[in-house]
Chain A
Protein backbone atom coordinates (compact mmCIF):
# COMPACT_ATOMS: atom_id res chain seq x y z
CA UNK A 1 0.00 0.00 0.00
CA UNK A 2 1.63 3.22 -1.07
CA UNK A 3 0.39 6.05 1.12
CA UNK A 4 1.07 9.01 -1.17
CA UNK A 5 -0.79 7.55 -4.13
CA UNK A 6 -3.72 6.62 -1.93
CA UNK A 7 -3.93 10.03 -0.37
CA UNK A 8 -3.90 11.88 -3.68
CA UNK A 9 -7.55 10.82 -3.87
CA UNK A 10 -8.29 13.45 -1.24
CA UNK A 11 -9.18 16.89 -2.53
CA UNK A 12 -7.70 20.24 -1.60
CA UNK A 13 -4.03 19.55 -2.26
CA UNK A 14 -3.44 22.51 -4.55
CA UNK A 15 -5.64 24.89 -2.59
CA UNK A 16 -4.07 24.10 0.79
CA UNK A 17 -0.56 24.06 -0.68
CA UNK A 18 -1.06 27.40 -2.37
CA UNK A 19 -2.70 29.08 0.59
CA UNK A 20 -0.19 27.74 3.14
CA UNK A 21 2.87 28.97 1.26
CA UNK A 22 1.24 32.27 0.30
CA UNK A 23 0.22 33.06 3.88
CA UNK A 24 3.56 31.91 5.29
CA UNK A 25 5.38 34.11 2.80
CA UNK A 26 3.21 37.14 3.40
CA UNK A 27 3.16 37.06 7.20
CA UNK A 28 6.50 35.47 8.10
CA UNK A 29 9.04 35.15 5.29
CA UNK A 30 8.81 38.56 3.59
CA UNK A 31 8.81 40.52 6.87
CA UNK A 32 11.72 38.46 8.25
CA UNK A 33 13.73 38.88 5.07
CA UNK A 34 13.61 42.65 5.57
CA UNK A 35 15.86 42.10 8.58
CA UNK A 36 18.53 40.33 6.52
CA UNK A 37 18.35 42.74 3.59
CA UNK A 38 18.73 45.69 5.94
CA UNK A 39 21.83 44.07 7.47
CA UNK A 40 23.40 43.54 4.03
CA UNK A 41 23.29 47.30 3.50
CA UNK A 42 25.91 47.58 6.26
CA UNK A 43 29.59 46.97 5.58
CA UNK A 44 31.28 44.32 7.72
CA UNK A 45 33.23 46.97 9.68
CA UNK A 46 30.05 48.93 10.41
CA UNK A 47 28.23 45.77 11.48
CA UNK A 48 31.10 44.64 13.71
CA UNK A 49 31.39 48.10 15.24
CA UNK A 50 27.69 48.17 16.17
CA UNK A 51 27.50 44.70 17.65
CA UNK A 52 30.67 44.99 19.77
CA UNK A 53 30.10 48.31 21.55
CA UNK A 54 30.67 47.97 25.31
CA UNK A 55 26.96 48.58 25.88
CA UNK A 56 25.99 45.76 23.49
CA UNK A 57 28.57 43.40 25.04
CA UNK A 58 27.20 44.14 28.52
CA UNK A 59 23.67 43.40 27.25
CA UNK A 60 24.75 40.03 25.72
CA UNK A 61 26.47 39.12 28.98
CA UNK A 62 23.37 39.87 31.03
CA UNK A 63 20.94 38.20 28.60
CA UNK A 64 23.03 35.04 28.24
CA UNK A 65 24.02 34.88 31.92
CA UNK A 66 20.52 35.41 33.30
CA UNK A 67 18.94 33.08 30.71
CA UNK A 68 21.47 30.37 31.52
CA UNK A 69 20.89 30.75 35.27
CA UNK A 70 17.12 30.67 34.75
CA UNK A 71 17.25 27.62 32.48
CA UNK A 72 19.45 25.74 34.98
CA UNK A 73 17.07 26.65 37.82
CA UNK A 74 14.22 25.39 35.62
CA UNK A 75 15.94 22.02 35.17
CA UNK A 76 16.02 21.51 38.95
CA UNK A 77 12.53 22.92 39.58
CA UNK A 78 11.05 21.21 36.53
CA UNK A 79 12.42 17.80 37.49
CA UNK A 80 11.11 18.22 41.03
CA UNK A 81 7.63 19.30 39.92
CA UNK A 82 7.35 16.65 37.19
CA UNK A 83 8.45 13.93 39.62
CA UNK A 84 5.94 14.98 42.27
CA UNK A 85 3.10 15.28 39.74
CA UNK A 86 3.78 11.89 38.13
CA UNK A 87 4.69 9.74 41.11
CA UNK A 88 2.59 11.04 44.00
CA UNK A 89 -1.11 11.58 44.65
CA UNK A 90 -1.97 14.29 47.16
CA UNK A 91 -4.81 16.78 47.74
CA UNK A 92 -4.62 19.71 45.30
CA UNK A 93 -2.51 17.81 42.78
CA UNK A 94 -4.91 18.44 39.87
CA UNK A 95 -4.94 22.19 40.55
CA UNK A 96 -1.13 22.30 40.55
CA UNK A 97 -1.01 20.21 37.40
CA UNK A 98 -3.15 22.80 35.57
CA UNK A 99 -1.36 25.77 37.15
CA UNK A 100 2.02 24.68 35.76
CA UNK A 101 0.99 26.14 32.39
CA UNK A 102 0.15 29.54 33.91
CA UNK A 103 3.39 31.20 32.69
CA UNK A 104 2.38 30.22 29.12
CA UNK A 105 -1.13 31.60 29.49
CA UNK A 106 -0.45 34.73 31.56
CA UNK A 107 0.43 37.82 29.49
CA UNK A 108 4.10 38.57 30.06
CA UNK A 109 3.41 42.18 31.06
CA UNK A 110 1.19 40.96 33.91
CA UNK A 111 3.95 38.63 35.08
CA UNK A 112 6.43 41.49 34.93
CA UNK A 113 4.22 43.94 36.86
CA UNK A 114 3.36 41.40 39.54
CA UNK A 115 6.87 40.04 40.12
CA UNK A 116 8.27 43.58 40.28
CA UNK A 117 5.70 44.64 42.87
CA UNK A 118 6.25 41.46 44.92
CA UNK A 119 10.05 41.75 44.88
CA UNK A 120 10.38 45.53 45.29
CA UNK A 121 11.79 46.88 48.58
CA UNK A 122 8.32 47.20 50.18
CA UNK A 123 6.82 44.18 48.41
CA UNK A 124 5.50 40.95 49.96
CA UNK A 125 8.77 39.12 49.17
CA UNK A 126 11.14 42.07 48.82
CA UNK A 127 10.88 43.34 52.39
CA UNK A 128 12.09 40.02 53.81
CA UNK A 129 14.74 39.41 51.15
CA UNK A 130 16.08 42.92 51.59
CA UNK A 131 16.28 42.38 55.36
CA UNK A 132 18.55 39.44 54.49
CA UNK A 133 20.60 41.77 52.29
CA UNK A 134 19.36 40.41 48.95
CA UNK A 135 18.14 42.97 46.43
CA UNK A 136 16.09 41.41 43.64
CA UNK A 137 14.04 44.12 41.90
CA UNK A 138 16.10 46.34 39.56
CA UNK A 139 19.12 44.01 39.65
CA UNK A 140 20.33 41.16 37.44
CA UNK A 141 18.96 38.74 40.06
CA UNK A 142 15.50 40.13 39.26
CA UNK A 143 16.06 39.47 35.56
CA UNK A 144 16.90 35.83 36.33
CA UNK A 145 13.83 35.51 38.60
CA UNK A 146 11.49 36.76 35.86
CA UNK A 147 13.09 34.44 33.30
CA UNK A 148 12.75 31.49 35.69
CA UNK A 149 9.03 32.21 35.99
CA UNK A 150 8.63 32.35 32.20
CA UNK A 151 10.53 29.10 31.60
CA UNK A 152 9.01 27.04 34.42
CA UNK A 153 6.61 24.93 32.29
CA UNK A 154 9.15 23.84 29.64
CA UNK A 155 11.13 21.28 31.64
CA UNK A 156 8.03 20.02 33.48
CA UNK A 157 6.23 19.37 30.19
CA UNK A 158 9.18 17.68 28.46
CA UNK A 159 10.07 15.45 31.44
CA UNK A 160 6.52 14.50 32.48
CA UNK A 161 5.65 12.15 29.55
CA UNK A 162 9.04 10.42 29.71
CA UNK A 163 8.70 9.88 33.43
CA UNK A 164 5.21 8.42 32.92
CA UNK A 165 6.59 5.95 30.34
CA UNK A 166 9.52 4.71 32.37
CA UNK A 167 9.12 1.04 33.19
CA UNK A 168 8.90 0.83 36.95
CA UNK A 169 10.22 -2.74 37.06
CA UNK A 170 13.67 -1.44 36.09
CA UNK A 171 13.69 0.69 39.21
CA UNK A 172 12.28 -2.20 41.18
CA UNK A 173 14.97 -4.57 39.89
CA UNK A 174 17.68 -2.09 40.84
CA UNK A 175 16.23 -1.72 44.30
CA UNK A 176 15.90 -5.49 44.76
CA UNK A 177 19.55 -5.85 43.80
CA UNK A 178 20.39 -3.58 46.70
CA UNK A 179 20.67 -0.13 45.12
CA UNK A 180 19.84 2.77 47.42
CA UNK A 181 17.02 5.14 46.30
CA UNK A 182 19.67 7.75 45.43
CA UNK A 183 21.60 5.21 43.33
CA UNK A 184 18.38 4.23 41.53
CA UNK A 185 17.72 7.88 40.78
CA UNK A 186 21.26 8.58 39.57
CA UNK A 187 22.01 5.36 37.65
CA UNK A 188 18.54 4.39 36.34
CA UNK A 189 16.27 7.44 36.14
CA UNK A 190 18.67 10.24 35.29
CA UNK A 191 20.12 8.59 32.15
CA UNK A 192 16.59 7.93 30.85
CA UNK A 193 15.45 11.47 31.60
CA UNK A 194 18.58 13.18 30.32
CA UNK A 195 17.42 13.86 26.71
CA UNK A 196 14.12 15.32 27.95
CA UNK A 197 15.90 17.46 30.54
CA UNK A 198 18.31 18.72 27.91
CA UNK A 199 15.59 19.67 25.42
CA UNK A 200 13.54 21.32 28.18
CA UNK A 201 16.63 23.25 29.21
CA UNK A 202 17.29 24.40 25.64
CA UNK A 203 13.67 25.46 25.07
CA UNK A 204 13.63 27.45 28.32
CA UNK A 205 16.99 29.01 27.45
CA UNK A 206 15.86 30.03 23.95
CA UNK A 207 12.62 31.49 25.28
CA UNK A 208 14.48 33.42 28.00
CA UNK A 209 16.91 34.96 25.49
CA UNK A 210 14.13 36.67 23.55
CA UNK A 211 11.84 37.47 26.48
CA UNK A 212 10.89 41.10 26.95
CA UNK A 213 7.57 41.76 28.69
CA UNK A 214 8.24 40.06 32.00
CA UNK A 215 11.78 41.46 32.26
CA UNK A 216 11.49 45.18 31.45
CA UNK A 217 9.59 45.97 34.62
CA UNK A 218 11.82 44.13 37.08
CA UNK A 219 15.18 44.93 35.49
CA UNK A 220 15.18 48.72 35.97
CA UNK A 221 16.79 49.02 32.52
CA UNK A 222 20.10 50.67 33.44
CA UNK A 223 22.50 50.65 30.46
CA UNK A 224 25.60 48.51 31.08
CA UNK A 225 24.05 46.97 34.20
CA UNK A 226 20.48 45.71 33.83
CA UNK A 227 19.78 46.23 30.13
CA UNK A 228 18.83 43.03 28.25
CA UNK A 229 19.40 42.63 24.50
CA UNK A 230 15.73 43.02 23.42
CA UNK A 231 15.56 46.30 25.34
CA UNK A 232 18.73 47.55 23.66
CA UNK A 233 17.08 46.87 20.29
CA UNK A 234 14.06 48.96 21.32
CA UNK A 235 16.32 51.78 22.58
CA UNK A 236 18.16 51.89 19.24
CA UNK A 237 14.83 51.92 17.41
CA UNK A 238 13.50 54.79 19.52
CA UNK A 239 16.60 56.78 18.51
CA UNK A 240 15.69 56.01 14.86
CA UNK A 241 18.95 54.04 14.65
CA UNK A 242 17.46 51.33 12.38
CA UNK A 243 20.88 49.96 11.39
CA UNK A 244 21.92 49.57 15.02
CA UNK A 245 18.66 47.87 15.99
CA UNK A 246 18.88 45.50 13.00
CA UNK A 247 22.50 44.47 13.55
CA UNK A 248 21.90 43.56 17.19
CA UNK A 249 18.66 41.78 16.24
CA UNK A 250 20.60 39.64 13.73
CA UNK A 251 23.07 38.57 16.43
CA UNK A 252 20.16 37.57 18.67
CA UNK A 253 18.31 35.79 15.91
CA UNK A 254 21.46 33.82 15.08
CA UNK A 255 21.73 32.72 18.71
CA UNK A 256 18.10 31.57 18.93
CA UNK A 257 18.22 29.75 15.57
CA UNK A 258 21.34 27.86 16.66
CA UNK A 259 19.54 26.84 19.84
CA UNK A 260 16.51 25.69 17.87
CA UNK A 261 18.75 23.66 15.58
CA UNK A 262 20.42 22.14 18.63
CA UNK A 263 17.02 21.08 19.99
CA UNK A 264 16.10 19.40 16.71
CA UNK A 265 19.42 17.55 16.42
CA UNK A 266 19.12 16.51 20.06
CA UNK A 267 15.61 15.22 19.52
CA UNK A 268 16.72 13.13 16.54
CA UNK A 269 19.73 11.82 18.44
CA UNK A 270 17.71 10.72 21.46
CA UNK A 271 15.05 9.19 19.20
CA UNK A 272 17.71 7.13 17.45
CA UNK A 273 19.20 6.09 20.78
CA UNK A 274 15.80 4.93 22.01
CA UNK A 275 15.14 2.96 18.83
CA UNK A 276 18.59 1.37 19.01
CA UNK A 277 17.90 0.08 22.51
CA UNK A 278 17.02 -3.64 22.45
CA UNK A 279 13.43 -4.35 23.29
CA UNK A 280 12.36 -0.71 22.97
Chain B
Protein backbone atom coordinates (compact mmCIF):
# COMPACT_ATOMS: atom_id res chain seq x y z
CA UNK B 1 0.00 0.00 0.00
CA UNK B 2 1.45 3.32 -0.86
CA UNK B 3 1.19 6.29 1.40
CA UNK B 4 -1.00 8.16 -1.03
CA UNK B 5 -3.50 5.37 -0.98
CA UNK B 6 -3.80 5.35 2.78
CA UNK B 7 -4.39 9.09 2.84
CA UNK B 8 -7.34 8.75 0.51
CA UNK B 9 -10.24 11.03 1.24
CA UNK B 10 -13.54 9.64 2.37
CA UNK B 11 -15.41 11.14 -0.48
CA UNK B 12 -12.74 11.10 -3.14
CA UNK B 13 -15.11 9.76 -5.75
CA UNK B 14 -17.45 12.68 -5.37
CA UNK B 15 -14.59 15.14 -5.37
CA UNK B 16 -13.18 13.60 -8.54
CA UNK B 17 -16.58 13.67 -10.17
CA UNK B 18 -17.00 17.39 -9.52
CA UNK B 19 -13.51 18.04 -10.88
CA UNK B 20 -14.58 16.39 -14.10
CA UNK B 21 -12.14 13.56 -13.60
CA UNK B 22 -14.63 10.76 -13.40
CA UNK B 23 -17.50 9.71 -15.58
CA UNK B 24 -20.94 10.58 -14.32
CA UNK B 25 -22.93 7.78 -12.81
CA UNK B 26 -26.40 8.24 -11.49
CA UNK B 27 -26.01 5.84 -8.62
CA UNK B 28 -23.09 7.78 -7.24
CA UNK B 29 -25.02 11.00 -7.38
CA UNK B 30 -28.10 9.45 -5.88
CA UNK B 31 -26.03 8.29 -2.95
CA UNK B 32 -25.16 11.88 -2.06
CA UNK B 33 -27.66 14.22 -0.54
CA UNK B 34 -28.06 17.67 -2.01
CA UNK B 35 -26.31 19.44 0.84
CA UNK B 36 -23.16 17.36 0.41
CA UNK B 37 -23.12 17.89 -3.32
CA UNK B 38 -23.57 21.64 -2.91
CA UNK B 39 -20.83 21.81 -0.32
CA UNK B 40 -18.38 19.98 -2.53
CA UNK B 41 -19.21 22.23 -5.45
CA UNK B 42 -18.60 25.28 -3.29
CA UNK B 43 -15.29 23.91 -2.09
CA UNK B 44 -14.31 23.32 -5.68
CA UNK B 45 -15.21 26.87 -6.67
CA UNK B 46 -13.29 28.40 -3.82
CA UNK B 47 -10.25 26.28 -4.48
CA UNK B 48 -10.21 27.15 -8.13
CA UNK B 49 -10.24 30.77 -6.97
CA UNK B 50 -13.37 31.63 -8.85
CA UNK B 51 -14.73 34.99 -7.80
CA UNK B 52 -17.60 35.27 -5.38
CA UNK B 53 -20.15 36.20 -7.98
CA UNK B 54 -19.24 33.14 -9.99
CA UNK B 55 -20.90 30.82 -7.50
CA UNK B 56 -23.71 29.65 -9.67
CA UNK B 57 -24.96 26.97 -7.33
CA UNK B 58 -27.82 27.86 -5.08
CA UNK B 59 -25.87 27.83 -1.86
CA UNK B 60 -27.88 28.94 1.08
CA UNK B 61 -27.05 32.30 2.62
CA UNK B 62 -26.35 30.68 5.91
CA UNK B 63 -23.36 28.91 4.44
CA UNK B 64 -22.01 32.16 3.08
CA UNK B 65 -22.57 33.86 6.42
CA UNK B 66 -20.91 31.04 8.24
CA UNK B 67 -17.96 31.35 5.91
CA UNK B 68 -17.66 35.04 6.65
CA UNK B 69 -17.20 34.43 10.33
CA UNK B 70 -14.69 31.69 9.64
CA UNK B 71 -11.00 32.50 9.92
CA UNK B 72 -9.65 33.44 6.51
CA UNK B 73 -7.74 30.68 4.74
CA UNK B 74 -7.99 31.96 1.23
CA UNK B 75 -9.12 35.53 0.86
CA UNK B 76 -10.30 36.48 -2.57
CA UNK B 77 -12.15 39.61 -1.55
CA UNK B 78 -11.37 43.20 -2.51
CA UNK B 79 -9.07 43.58 0.43
CA UNK B 80 -6.59 41.36 -1.36
CA UNK B 81 -7.24 43.09 -4.65
CA UNK B 82 -6.17 46.35 -3.09
CA UNK B 83 -3.10 44.67 -1.73
CA UNK B 84 -2.25 43.31 -5.13
CA UNK B 85 -2.70 46.71 -6.70
CA UNK B 86 -0.27 48.20 -4.22
CA UNK B 87 2.32 45.47 -4.31
CA UNK B 88 1.29 43.89 -7.55
CA UNK B 89 4.64 44.53 -9.13
CA UNK B 90 6.19 42.14 -6.62
CA UNK B 91 4.81 39.31 -8.60
CA UNK B 92 6.85 38.34 -11.58
CA UNK B 93 4.49 35.67 -12.66
CA UNK B 94 0.78 35.89 -12.98
CA UNK B 95 0.45 32.92 -10.69
CA UNK B 96 -0.48 33.61 -7.12
CA UNK B 97 1.64 31.28 -5.06
CA UNK B 98 0.24 32.61 -1.83
CA UNK B 99 -2.78 30.35 -1.84
CA UNK B 100 -1.75 27.30 0.09
CA UNK B 101 -5.25 25.87 0.14
CA UNK B 102 -5.67 26.06 -3.60
CA UNK B 103 -2.23 24.60 -4.00
CA UNK B 104 -3.09 21.54 -1.97
CA UNK B 105 -6.25 20.92 -3.88
CA UNK B 106 -4.44 21.16 -7.17
CA UNK B 107 -1.70 18.85 -6.00
CA UNK B 108 -4.27 16.22 -5.27
CA UNK B 109 -5.81 16.47 -8.69
CA UNK B 110 -2.63 16.65 -10.72
CA UNK B 111 -1.97 12.96 -10.45
CA UNK B 112 -5.39 12.27 -11.85
CA UNK B 113 -4.95 14.76 -14.68
CA UNK B 114 -1.88 12.99 -15.87
CA UNK B 115 -3.89 9.83 -16.35
CA UNK B 116 -7.03 11.34 -17.75
CA UNK B 117 -4.95 13.16 -20.32
CA UNK B 118 -3.50 9.89 -21.53
CA UNK B 119 -5.37 8.07 -24.23
CA UNK B 120 -5.13 4.63 -25.56
CA UNK B 121 -3.23 4.02 -28.76
CA UNK B 122 -5.08 4.49 -32.00
CA UNK B 123 -5.39 1.10 -33.59
CA UNK B 124 -4.38 0.88 -37.23
CA UNK B 125 -5.47 -2.20 -39.13
CA UNK B 126 -2.08 -3.57 -40.02
CA UNK B 127 0.10 -1.42 -37.87
CA UNK B 128 2.51 -3.22 -35.58
CA UNK B 129 0.95 -1.26 -32.72
CA UNK B 130 -1.85 -3.78 -33.00
CA UNK B 131 0.34 -6.34 -31.35
CA UNK B 132 0.71 -4.17 -28.29
CA UNK B 133 -1.97 -4.61 -25.69
CA UNK B 134 -3.47 -1.39 -24.47
CA UNK B 135 -3.68 -0.65 -20.79
CA UNK B 136 -7.11 0.09 -19.43
CA UNK B 137 -6.45 3.36 -17.67
CA UNK B 138 -9.96 4.30 -16.63
CA UNK B 139 -12.49 1.61 -15.84
CA UNK B 140 -15.33 1.55 -18.31
CA UNK B 141 -18.55 2.05 -16.47
CA UNK B 142 -21.04 -0.70 -17.06
CA UNK B 143 -18.57 -3.14 -18.57
CA UNK B 144 -17.77 -6.09 -16.39
CA UNK B 145 -14.12 -6.89 -15.94
CA UNK B 146 -13.36 -10.60 -15.49
CA UNK B 147 -13.00 -10.22 -11.75
CA UNK B 148 -16.32 -8.50 -11.25
CA UNK B 149 -18.14 -11.58 -12.56
CA UNK B 150 -17.58 -12.80 -9.08
CA UNK B 151 -20.21 -11.52 -6.69
CA UNK B 152 -17.60 -10.97 -4.01
CA UNK B 153 -17.42 -7.24 -3.36
CA UNK B 154 -14.05 -7.69 -1.70
CA UNK B 155 -12.54 -8.97 -4.91
CA UNK B 156 -14.04 -6.12 -6.84
CA UNK B 157 -12.61 -3.64 -4.38
CA UNK B 158 -9.20 -5.24 -4.65
CA UNK B 159 -9.34 -4.95 -8.42
CA UNK B 160 -10.37 -1.31 -8.15
CA UNK B 161 -7.58 -0.65 -5.65
CA UNK B 162 -4.99 -2.19 -7.95
CA UNK B 163 -6.19 -0.13 -10.86
CA UNK B 164 -5.88 3.01 -8.76
CA UNK B 165 -2.37 2.01 -7.74
CA UNK B 166 -1.40 1.56 -11.35
CA UNK B 167 -2.95 4.86 -12.34
CA UNK B 168 -1.10 6.61 -9.55
CA UNK B 169 2.11 5.00 -10.63
CA UNK B 170 1.71 5.98 -14.28
CA UNK B 171 0.87 9.55 -13.27
CA UNK B 172 3.98 9.67 -11.09
CA UNK B 173 6.14 8.27 -13.91
CA UNK B 174 4.92 10.78 -16.47
CA UNK B 175 5.51 13.68 -14.09
CA UNK B 176 8.96 12.38 -13.21
CA UNK B 177 9.85 12.02 -16.89
CA UNK B 178 8.80 15.61 -17.56
CA UNK B 179 10.90 16.85 -14.69
CA UNK B 180 13.98 14.81 -15.51
CA UNK B 181 13.79 15.84 -19.15
CA UNK B 182 14.34 19.43 -18.02
CA UNK B 183 17.89 18.76 -16.97
CA UNK B 184 18.56 16.51 -19.96
CA UNK B 185 19.76 19.30 -22.19
CA UNK B 186 22.32 20.70 -19.77
CA UNK B 187 23.45 17.18 -18.85
CA UNK B 188 23.94 16.33 -22.49
CA UNK B 189 25.92 19.46 -23.09
CA UNK B 190 28.15 18.67 -20.12
CA UNK B 191 28.66 15.15 -21.48
CA UNK B 192 29.64 16.23 -24.98
CA UNK B 193 31.96 18.81 -23.48
CA UNK B 194 33.63 16.19 -21.28
CA UNK B 195 33.96 13.87 -24.26
CA UNK B 196 35.53 16.58 -26.38
CA UNK B 197 38.04 17.28 -23.63
CA UNK B 198 38.88 13.62 -23.30
CA UNK B 199 39.53 13.36 -26.98
CA UNK B 200 41.84 16.33 -26.79
CA UNK B 201 43.98 14.79 -24.06
Q: Do A and B come from one complex?
A: no
Interface residues, chain A, with chain B CB atoms under 8 Å away: none
Interface residues, chain B, with chain A CB atoms under 8 Å away: none
